[in-house]
Amino acid sequence: MQNIRNIAIIAHVDHGKTTLVDKILHSCAIFRDNQETGDLILDNNDLERERGITIVSKNVSVRYKDVKINIIDTPGHADFGGEVERVLKMADGVLLLCDAFEGAMPQTRFVTQKALALGLKPIVVVNKVDKENCRPEEVYEQIFELFFNLDATEEQLDFPVIYGSSKQGWMSTDYKVKTDDIFPLMDAILENIPPAPISEGTLQMQITSLDYSSFVGRIAIGRVARGVIKENQPVSLVKRDGKIQKSRIKELYTFEGLGKVKVQEVKSGDICAVVGIEGFEIGDTIADFENPEQLEVIHIDEPTMNMLFTINNSPFFGKEGKFVTSQRLRERLYKEMEKNLALKVVETDSPDSYLVYGRGILHLSVLIETMRREGYELQVGQPQVIVKEIDGRKNEPIETLIVDVPGEVAGKVIELVTQRKGELLIMEPKGDLQHLEFEIPSRGIIGLRNNVLTATAGEAIMAHRFKSYEPWKGTIPGRSNGVLVSMEKGSTTAYSIDKLQDRGRFFVDPGVDVYEGQIMGEHIRDNDLVVNLVKGKALTNMRASGTDDNTRIAPAIKFSLEEAMEYIQADEYIEVTPASMRLRKIYLTENERKINAKKFQS
């Protein structure tokens, strides 16, 4: 055995994983005393910092009592489950973080199931015990029950529990006894997580992650499962389909602190980064040159949703983006598939459009947002759930939906969910909130969050996870209101918006350039209405005292990308550019829309 521990940190979104890693890095003296680090050190890209969530898993390592601990920080959101599934292969144990008030949430169940199935040794950390209304003992019981329901082994059921607060930087074996540091957790890792075993034999290493450097290109990251990997060593790359490519290792790195250190060789059990291998994909095996043996290919759950990605063909195309052609769009989507295992791209009949399959709205919106920031212009259609035929019957994805709301608005939430074919399974008090659990088609969740937050004045806490494919539940009512569509190209005027305010709520401010067919706002009725927001006031050379009305305009509604994706219907697109986001009809003129109306009636 060697002095290495490989551990993954898993939890539901926002239960404190990345904050805990910060504290571990600080307490193991990774930084100089005068070094400025800030918070959430590992959430290092702009999107992660803005949204406050981890999107891509990260590797770091610390040394504690002469033992090297490799830590893998994983995303907590169900849409990034593909990321979690592949990196758990590098770990020997998991730290399962759970909020002392919220308890085991849907994503806690999902990641725990994956970890237990791989036979990983768990340590449970009940975090945020400094919160009001927290219930550490109940949460412990809840997690034990969860482990039991997920068929954990007796050894896994005998898990150690650590209580504490990542934010305040303390951990303890008893939540009533507050300590000064997180070392009780570090000691629990050394005592309970098995050391990385040394496995003799020919080389085997599975690529479970990748990195990119502008100097050396793509870097393969994985854990050496057997044997020793050396610099300048000739190797075989066994592809997922069994084909074998011959290659050579140019450079080897292991993880130290937040960075990488160049080494001559890496023994089995350690996690390393390999430079010099061409044409690899995640899931491939780096094996012995003469006698290559493949490791079991990583299985990733199927996507549940797809969206049409197409080039921007609006009247404003090419004004704001650098990359606007279908060739650029195709290259970018296929490049994303290399590292995003839960994503799938399928070509359509049109050379300008691609169907992109993903895990959910957030999974796809993060891709769109990343592309937008890189300078791409594109249009996306309405998200559609993936329907399967099983035993001659139409089946659709069903999800478990959990909503925690104040008791007085629980009735409104139940009404909204049941309208969308949701079934109420559990209703029980949780602190001062009502805890509701439903089963609902994935289609029903699209657009539900906005309605629930509006009905509960923003106080609802929602989470959902994929359950299974079940028979089709029938039609679900879509958006109840029509939209206001622009009649002309030009610049919006305050005069026109003011005069049309009784027809609906607007998405644009005065002085904004618009084009024919662009969606300007939401109509008060269920049909679409064509409006002219470009028209200015007719001016005369007579000055009339007191007859000019001062315009009073309600503020425009601004959608986030996810809200827009949930809002649009089958005959609409979102136009996404580096500088703006517009909603539009697929057919811009009213005449074309009438001719093609039957296409979208289903």
Tokens of 533: 């927001």
Q: Among 33-47, 161-175, 325-339, 368-382, which is the least confidently predicted range? A: 33-47
Q: What is the mean pLDDT of residues 458-476?
A: 83
Given this model, what pLDDT does residue 476 score?
Answer: 82
Please say whether the beta carbons of 135 and 430 come within 8 A: no
Q: Under a CB-based contact definition with an 8 Å cutoff, are residues 197 and 209 in contact?
A: no
The torsion of the CA quartet 417, 420, 426, 429, rounded to 10 degrees, works out to 0
On the question of pLDDT at 285 being above 60, the answer is yes
Model confidence at 167: pLDDT above 50:
yes
CA nearest to 489, candidates 511, 513, 506, 520: 513
pLDDT, mean of residues 107-128: 83
Q: Is the pLDDT of residue 549 over 70?
A: no
Count of other CB atoms within 10 angstroms of residue 26 = 16
The residue with greater pLDDT, 132 or 269, is 269
- Cα separation, 205 vs 294, in Å, equals 9
Does residue 191 register a pLDDT over 50?
yes
| Across 27-36, 119-128, 424-433, least confident range | 27-36
pLDDT band at 213; cut points 50, 70, 90 = confident
Q: What is the pLDDT of residue 259?
A: 76
Outline where DSSP puts E strands in 259-392: 259-263, 265-267, 271-275, 285-288, 305-311, 344-347, 353-358, 378-380, 384-385, 388-390
Percent of the chain with pLDDT over 70: 89
Give me the chain's average pLDDT, please.
82
pLDDT digits (tens, 9 = 90+) for 504-548: 899 998 888 999 999 999 999 888 899 998 887 776 666 555 444
Least-confidence region, from 95-109, 176-190, 513-527: 95-109
User: Of all helices (H) and strands (E), which one includes residue 84?
Assistant: helix 81-87
User: Does 425 score more than 70 pLDDT?
Assistant: yes
Mean pLDDT of 553-567: 86
For residue 19, pLDDT beyond 90: no
Task: Tell me the mean pLDDT in the region 282-309.
Answer: 83
How many beta carbons lie within 10 A of that of residue 471, not counting itself? 12
- Spatial separation of the C-alpha atoms in residues 269 and 196, rounded to whole Å: 5
Which residues contact residue 383 at a Cβ distance below 8 angstroms, ignoring those fewer than 6 apart?
A: 305, 306, 307, 361, 364, 446, 565, 566
Give the residue among 62, 70, 137 at the shortest CA–CA distance from 98.
Answer: 137
What percentage of the chain carries pLDDT values higher than 90? 9
User: Which candidate, 465, 470, 469, places its Cα nearest to that of 113?
Assistant: 465
pLDDT at 82 over 70: no
Which residues are annotated binding-site positions? Answer: 14-19, 127-130
pLDDT mean over 458-469 = 81
User: What is the reported pLDDT for 50?
Assistant: 55
Residue 74 has pLDDT above 80, yes or no: no
The region of weakest confidence among 73-77, 131-135, 285-289 is: 73-77
- pTM beyond cutoff 0.85: no
Give Cα separations from 457 to 19, 401, 405, 412, 413 (angstroms).
29, 19, 10, 11, 11
Residues that constitute the known binding site for GTP: 14-19, 127-130
Q: Which residues contact 380 (CB under 8 A, 6 or more apart)?
A: 307, 308, 309, 310, 364, 368, 565, 573, 574, 576
Q: What's residue 53's pLDDT?
A: 60
- Predicted local confidence at residue 516, as pLDDT: 92
| φ, ψ dihedrals at 336, nearest 5° | -65, -35
Cβ atoms 533, 575 nearer than 8 A:
no
Is the per-residue pLDDT at 308 higher than 60? yes
Position 49 pLDDT exceeds 70: no
Please give the pLDDT value at position 13: 67
Is the confidence at residue 264, as pLDDT, over 50?
A: yes
Identify which has the larger pLDDT, 211 or 266.
266
Whether the per-residue pLDDT at 464 is higher than 60: the answer is: yes
Q: Is residue 562 over pLDDT 70?
A: yes
**Closest CA relative to residue 366, chosen from 13, 34, 50:** 50
- Summarize pLDDT for 345-374 with one digit per residue, the tens: 999 888 889 999 988 888 888 889 889 888
Instruction: Give the mean model confidence (pLDDT) for residues 570-597.
Output: 90
Given pLDDT bands bounded at 50, 70 and 90, which one contains residue 602? Answer: low
Taking 90 as the threshold, does the pLDDT of residue 165 lie above it?
A: no
Which domains does the chain possess? 4-192 (3.40.50.300), 204-288 (2.40.30.10), 388-471 (3.30.70.240), 483-540+549-600 (2.40.50.250)
